[in-house]
Chains A and B, each alone.
Chain A
Amino acid sequence: MKRQVGWLAGQLVATLALASALVFVVLRVLPGDSAVVALGVNATPQALAQWRAQHGTDRPLIAQYGSWMGGLLRGDFGTSFVTGRALTPLILDRVQVTLIIVGLGMLLALVVAVPLGTLAAVTHRSAWGTVIAGASQVGVAIPNFLVGVLLVSLVAVHLGWLPAGGWTPPATNPADFWRHVILPSVALGTVQAAIITRYVRSAVLEVMREDFLRTARAAGRTRAGALVRHGLRNAGVPVVTVVGVQLAAMLIGAVVVERVFVVPGLGSLLVDAVQQRDLQAVQSIVVVLVALVVVINFVVDLLYTVLDPRLRVVAR
């Protein structure tokens, strides 16, 4: 187990190193000169040169990469090309917001999807199962910004129960924070709940055919008892995979919901930075996102070995 954790941690470091290099190179190769974007197309060559010297973009790429990496290792993302402000507090602030709505959204999705998917599997021959399967089908098809817009018009505008958008940090005013966080999380979670319900349903259906459930029943468990004791954990392995993939997708996909609810998340920050050719901000945000995705996969891999003893052999 220890060796496995070490192996996974090594993978994490290697992935991050590779990803940062890749992001750096790709951004330099892409067209769009930061200096021109910052100073405008009419800027004089002297002004452009001065801007480049000031921001260090005239140095060799290796040197630029080196100083960026050096900063990253100290936890310093550098300063924005556009605003000239330090990126670190900004990114950390935005990451927090995104993690909160994504985390709550996924929690909500799981709370709904696991029981509903199990119910759908157990009742797959009856009307209930068909209704749940059909509803989840529809849920998968709805884009989450549409859910967001519907929620805004219904709950915020029409009923006036919750604010239509905006954000309050939890530390400033907890009650206000909760009022602002509910709708974006629900908007994100609804679609995920539909997707995960479908996976839970098929995983449980799969497990229900397993011989060991019949063994458990032959040993004296009821149908439901066998499923709870021996079925759900076995069904958990494929579901964990999907939850991991969906979490990663949600981190990036949250940008749409952030826009709808005017929530200052990481996604909105990234979109702004790309539009302004703020290379320093873009590459730092992308590396943060990559790090989050790698950490998610790392946790998923760990969960596999916790769930399934057959996977506890030393990797390779």
Chain B
Amino acid sequence: MDPALRVDDLAVGTRHRTLVEGVSFTVEAGERVGLIGESGSGKSLTALAVLGLLPDNLAATGTVDVAGERDLLARSDRRLAPLRGSLLSMVFQEPMTALDPLVRVGRQVSEVVTLHDRGVHRRAARERAVGLLAEVGLPDPAAAARAYPHQLSGGQRQRVMIAMALANDPGLLVADEPTTALDVTVQAQVLALIARLVERRGTGLLFITHDLAVVSQVCSRVLVMKDGALVEQGPVAQVFAKPAHEYTASLLAASELTARRAPGSGTSSGRRPGIESAPPAHRPDPEPPTGPAIRLDDVVKTYRRGRTPVPALRGVSLDVQPGERFGLVGESGSGKTTALRLLAGLDAPTSGTVEVAGVTLAGPRGVARARDVARVRSDLQMVFQDPMGSLDPRMTVADIVAEPLLNPANRRDLPEAATRAGRRELVRQIVADVGLYGDTLERYPHQFSGGQRQRISIARALVCRPKVLVADEPVSALDVSVRAQVLDLLARLADERGLTLVLVSHDLAVVRHLCDRVAVMRAGEIVEQGPTEQVWADPQHEYTRALQAATPVLVR
């Protein structure tokens, strides 16, 4: 029997630059193969080349055979198109943008059927679409078929994508980070669905991901890519247990986040040679205990959509002590973001009390009083998820980091920040302290990698020496190898500066790596809170258990 996919000496590049070179591998019929590597390693380009979907400015050479069809790369778009969607198909990462927003999803699925079989009656195709939507586990598939993409959740859309990809029982399914944009529990369901469907159909699976734990759960064989070349391949059990290549070993090491060490012990695992930290720029004076750094007391926040009230927080209470590292875990819609907005003074609670560093944030009509917000802003700073989007692309790093100091309220305790030269010196210190060196200051955000950009965000947040640092999913957009470094940087800075750290994440493992205490949120409520190790080892609430069970674990 022909293999589902045979790639021989594949190269992808522009006219001037080679991006992928000498890639050869096979996926046997019905086999599930993982393709791992960091961003920029060429995983996605390899997949797109197989399907003939490379961007216009890229070209591929080599041979690609799929399920008995020879040399796909030599075919024109017109001759290749009939194979896509029938012989081989693909599921993409972004469920939010991968479906046509103007066409009902049932129609989009039935089109894949009629496109490859002109003989099918429209009604038969429609019924088949509903059947497929049922097979991918959408509740009420008939209603789902009539929905437009924006009326479905991310997980539901990804199920629709899978239905489209499998509509014609292809010999090969390529899935490019299909669950990266999904919540943990939804990810677990979608992974199980993909595994079940390809098994039932005998479809070969090429599964691209940066998440080694996911590979260990879904795939039997793994390919490791780095800088456009395959560095290692073999059975998952063997490669993960005894990686032959140094790069694979480092990926594996970075993927396993350990539990947080005892408070105050500091961290060292993330330090790399060359990223030696500068001596602490200053040590905050030990302050007399003044009560919690953050206090939420029975906080309710209700938004309005038209006349319909939408509850975002339904009575949330928590205390974070000064110097504590607190984790807030939950999936989309859990109320994490609303809680953050309240802490930052971007919104005021509908009822209940929000207190940050002793200042009560409240105000009429859901807006916190500006005076209070200004007081809190110098004590509480934030690091956001997307290091790409949250930095102004037209500003130099020096200007970005100095910006908080332009607000006089933020430099009350930093008289030297009143002058340009003084601000420059403060910026220089903090940028060195987050591990960025050289001509960093005069460069622009796009000249940095994701991890470096997140360091810039951290520098910006810390330049006015806040007491509380709130980090919203600070590592979820980063590669695994960088993830540990950024987390350890946060831990070190928190220790050195006596910071109170609030880490918001969907990933229980990330929180466990960094935090002393954790609160698990669902649907606007805290379902469980306590010391991280206790919650991790002995979760009391069923949702915490579900979340833990759904978190992919690296099996070695």
Chain A interface (Cβ < 8 Å from any Cβ of B): 125, 210-212, 214-223, 225, 229-230, 233-234, 307-310, 314, 316
CB distance from B391 to the nearest CB of A (A): 23
Does B94 contact A211, Cβ atoms closer than 8 Å? yes
Stretch of B58-66, B83-91, B370-378 lying at the A interface: B83-91
- The chain A residue with its CB closest to the CB of B115 is A220
Measured in the bound complex, the distance between the Cα atoms of B292 and A42 in whole Å is 88
Q: Given A215-B100, A220-B84, A310-B148, list of 6 further CB < 8 A pairs?
A: A125-B56, A212-B101, A215-B161, A217-B84, A230-B102, A234-B100
- The chain B residue with its CB closest to the CB of A208 is B56
Q: Is B92 an interface residue (CB 8 A)?
A: yes
13 contacts between A and B (CB under 8 A): A125-B57, A214-B98, A215-B161, A215-B164, A219-B115, A219-B164, A220-B115, A222-B78, A230-B102, A230-B103, A234-B101, A309-B101, A316-B306
Does A220 contact B85, Cβ atoms closer than 8 Å? yes
Chain B interface (Cβ < 8 Å from any Cβ of A): 51, 53, 56-57, 77-78, 81-86, 89-90, 92, 94, 97-103, 111-112, 115-116, 148, 150, 161, 164-165, 306
Closest 4 CB pairs of A and B: A220-B85, A219-B85, A211-B97, A218-B90
- The chain B residue with its CB closest to the CB of A308 is B102
CB distance from B276 to the nearest CB of A (A): 42
- The chain B residue with its CB closest to the CB of A230 is B100
Q: Which residues of B contact A222 (CB under 8 A)?
A: 77-78, 81
Q: Which residues of A contact B165 (CB under 8 A)?
A: 218-219
Q: Which residues of B contact A229 (CB under 8 A)?
A: 111
Q: Which residues of B contact A223 (CB under 8 A)?
A: 77
Measured in the bound complex, the distance between the Cα atoms of B111 and A221 in whole Å is 10
Measured in the bound complex, the distance between the Cα atoms of B111 and A54 in whole Å is 72
Does A220 contact B81, Cβ atoms closer than 8 Å? yes
Residue among A214, A220, A309, A314 with the highest chain B CB neighbour number at 10 A? A220
Does A211 contact B53, Cβ atoms closer than 8 Å? no
User: Given that A222-B81, A310-B150 are contacting pairs, would A216 and B51 also be in contact in the complex, using a CB cutoff of 8 Å?
Assistant: no
Measured in the bound complex, the distance between the Cα atoms of B100 and A211 in whole Å is 9
Q: Which residues of B contact A309 (CB under 8 A)?
A: 101-102, 148, 150
CB distance from B310 to the nearest CB of A (A): 14
Does B53 contact A218, Cβ atoms closer than 8 Å? yes
Measured in the bound complex, the distance between the Cα atoms of B80 and A222 in whole Å is 8
Does B97 contact A218, Cβ atoms closer than 8 Å? no
Q: Which residues of A contact B89 (CB under 8 A)?
A: 218-219
Measured in the bound complex, the distance between the Cα atoms of B103 and A234 in whole Å is 10
CB distance from A219 to the nearest CB of B (A): 4
CB distance from A207 to the nearest CB of B (A): 10
Q: Which residues of B contact A230 (CB under 8 A)?
A: 100, 102-103
CB distance from A17 to the nearest CB of B (A): 26
CB distance from B150 to the nearest CB of A (A): 5
Q: Which residues of B contact A314 (CB under 8 A)?
A: 306
Measured in the bound complex, the distance between the Cα atoms of B57 and A218 in whole Å is 18
Q: Which residues of A contact B86 (CB under 8 A)?
A: 220
- The chain A residue with its CB closest to the CB of B89 is A218
Does B92 contact A211, Cβ atoms closer than 8 Å? yes
Does A219 contact B84, Cβ atoms closer than 8 Å? yes
Residue among A125, A221, A314 with the highest chain B CB neighbour number at 10 A? A221
Measured in the bound complex, the distance between the Cα atoms of B112 and A316 in whole Å is 37
Q: Which residues of B contact A233 (CB under 8 A)?
A: 102
Measured in the bound complex, the distance between the Cα atoms of B176 and A178 in whole Å is 59
Question: Which of A125, A225, A234 is close to B81, meaning CB atoms less than 8 Å apart?
Answer: A225
CB distance from B484 to the nearest CB of A (A): 30
Measured in the bound complex, the distance between the Cα atoms of B92 and A218 in whole Å is 10
Does A220 contact B97, Cβ atoms closer than 8 Å? no
Does B148 contact A221, Cβ atoms closer than 8 Å? no
Residue among B90, B102, B103 with the highest chain A CB neighbour number at 10 A? B102
Residue among B83, B116, B164 with the highest chain A CB neighbour number at 10 A? B164
